[in-house]
Structure 1
């Protein structure tokens, strides 16, 4: 699935970089060094040129475990959008697309991700929970 969608992703990346270069080319004669600042501001409001995509992953209670056992925690502020035609689920934080998950059943994966994100704890609460667990383990070791 990921390989079938590769051409579209490459075209999108090339198109976004071409747009950024064109903006820089047009603005530089007028604004010189400030054109880079303008470009960075534009980058903040346009979609990212490169979006990480996962074809192999596991969904757990804490989030998504990708290749090489890298964990991506899910939070309630994330939004999920399924694309049935291209067979993937996009994960958004605000208006930014963070990554894509390729799957043969995007709607099913989207519902699972929504459930996991509702029960997942924010980072501060996760740290507090980890500290409590480590304190309990230390207390048990002392006994």
Structure 2
């Protein structure tokens, strides 16, 4: 079985994206999804201006209650209705908020998510800039 190698340099790049972009919150905590009104955002949700995700839209961000400039984790969603996979950054999230985000992302039968938590290891194959 192959394991995920958690590369510290990868997380540094995500932190740089976060710090070099402005974060726009367009769906505050407690607001309903624009299309599915039964889905309520557990934390602030928005995007990083001047960035592009795999869907050619700005990178999505869940912003928790902890003030920080580091990305804590990423959630990767697979959506069979939209036929896409999207990476969402989790910033400043407590453990409880992280679990509520995963529950939010897994509410429908059409979309599921996995969580990759930040690590500090540097694989042997990785190069420092």
State TM-score, norm by structure 2. 0.28
- TM-score norm. by structure 1 comes to 0.27
Point out the structure with the larger helix share. 1
Which has a greater percent of strand? 2
| Higher radius of gyration, 1 or 2 | 1
